[in-house]
Amino acid sequence: MDRNTFGRLCRLLKDRCGLVDKKFVTVEEQVAMFLVVLSHHQKTRVVGFSFTRSSQTVSRYMHVVLYVVLKLHEVLLVKPEPVDENCTNARWKWFKGCLGALDGTYIYVRVPTTDLPRYHNRKGQITTNTLVVCDRRLRFVYVFPGWEGSAGDSRILRDALSRPHGLKVPKGQYYLCDNGYANSDGFMTPYKGVRYHLKEWGPACEAPQTPVELFDMRHTKARNIIERAFAVMKMRWGIPRSARFYPIDVQTSLIIACFLLHNFIRGQMEVDPLEVQIDSQGDDGSQSDADDDGVAFIQSIEPTTAWSKKRDDLAAEMWLDFNT
């Protein structure tokens, strides 16, 4: 983040969360130490040497700032806007009512030896499987860390939907997700066993040949927004890229803080330098309950015939437009 963004963050933590200057450590220094821990994943001893503070001081203020950042979750997590009928964006105009994209990501953690089997993921790494939802502007809508790396994506999504303050998807709207989830009301997946690495206007062998191939290609282009969001967030913070020497509950809180501060930075800086860096490398491209009255939300992820027909109709509409 730039200097102005850092100043606004300190002011927000003062005004909204009650963070105050101490006798020897100002708010700015407290926040700076916390950000160094997040971005460079340095040990408290190293951070203390850089700031001429004891390891105890760094550790104490890291936990203080972490606590107040987590209190901002209702402010920093965005409420997504569905794609409307007037959308002209080539990537999103076909997905009316879409709120964004959803996926899970593995984040390295350090756990006691007795818990290692539960945190082994399918790649043999010790991770937590974090469910993340983002909107079309690479801002995070919902973050659900803490599940073991061995847990399946669908199981985590079911848990998120069943929680009182969990993921809320209004009926008639939906998120794009991959085949790790069921194609059900509120969650649209691509067709299984269909190629999607295609070019809309490429040679005959690379262009879509059927409605489902065209649908999968456009679905993947739009859903890729969640992969871009993961890339930007993990490039910005060092904490999600390696395991931490903290209890698992503190590690989970640090993961949430990384997502929250990512949203804050994207809201304050007109140009995100990390997104520009990804583009130059050729990369392809908790909601508040205040407005929930009278809105029906999706409670399950069971596949239905009606939702499968909705996907088929959308694929047929795309194919008809593609050939006219």
Tens of pLDDT, residue by residue over 161-177, are 999 888 999 988 999 99
Q: Provide mean pLDDT across the span 42-69.
A: 92
pLDDT of residue 198: 59
What percent of the chain has a predicted confidence (pLDDT) above 70?
89
Range of lowest pLDDT (22-26, 40-44, 234-238, 273-277): 273-277
User: In this predicted structure, what is the pLDDT of residue 40?
Assistant: 87
Nearest CA to 302 out of 153, 159, 185 is that of 185
225 and 307, same domain (yes or no): yes
3-state secondary structure of 146: strand
Q: Do 306 and 215 have their domain in common?
A: yes
At 192, the pLDDT band (50, 70, 90 cuts) reads confident
Select from 71, 99, 129 the last residue of a domain: 71
Lowest mean pLDDT among 154-163, 169-178, 190-199, 285-294: 285-294
- The answer to whether 188 and 219 are in contact (CB under 8 A) is yes
| Contact predicate 109/299, CB 8 Å | no
Angstrom distances, CA of residue 281 to CA of 1, 136, 228, 278: 21, 20, 12, 5
| H helix runs in the chain, sequence order | 3-17, 27-40, 44-51, 55-70, 73-76, 116-119, 153-162, 211-236, 248-268, 273-280, 305-322
Q: Average pLDDT of 88-108?
A: 92
274 pLDDT exceeds 80? no
Pair (107, 52) in one structural domain: no
Same domain, 180 and 46: no
Instruction: State which of 49, 71, 93 marks the end of a domain.
Output: 71
- The band of 76, judged by pLDDT with boundaries at 50, 70 and 90, is very high
Number of domains in the chain: 2
Whether 188 and 263 map to the same domain: the answer is: yes
Average of per-residue pLDDT values in the chain: 86
Among 182-191, 211-220, 287-296, whose mean pLDDT is lowest? Answer: 287-296
Residue 176 to residue 170: CA distance in whole angstroms: 14
In sign, the C-alpha dihedral spanning 136, 141, 146, 147 is negative
The predicted structure's pLDDT at residue 290: 42
Is the domain of 146 the same as that of 256?
yes
Using pLDDT thresholds of 50, 70 and 90, give the confidence band for residue 240: confident
Residues 172 and 248 in one domain: yes
| Better pLDDT: 31 or 297 | 31
In 3D space, the residue among 298, 77, 289, 76 whose CA is nearest the CA of residue 181 turns out to be 298
Instruction: State residue 41's pLDDT score.
Output: 84
Whether residue 113 sits in one domain with residue 19: no
Predicted local confidence at residue 9, as pLDDT? 93
Residue 34: give the domain boundaries: 3-71
pLDDT mean over 298-319: 87
Q: Are 97 and 226 within one domain?
A: yes
Instruction: Tell me, yes or no, whether 36 and 146 share the same domain.
Output: no
Of 121, 127, 120, the C-alpha closest to 145 is 127
Identify which has the larger pLDDT, 296 or 31. 31
Partners of 44 in the β-ladder = none
pLDDT at 319: 86
Q: Let me know whether 66 and 163 are in one domain.
A: no
Residue 25 pLDDT greater than 60, yes or no: yes
Q: Are both 16 and 49 inside the same structural domain? A: yes
pLDDT digits (tens, 9 = 90+) for 129-141: 999 999 998 899 9
Q: Reply yes or no on whether the pLDDT at 279 is more than 70.
A: no
| Span of 109-123, 163-177, 270-284 with lowest mean pLDDT | 270-284
Final residue belonging to a domain, choices 43, 71, 99:
71
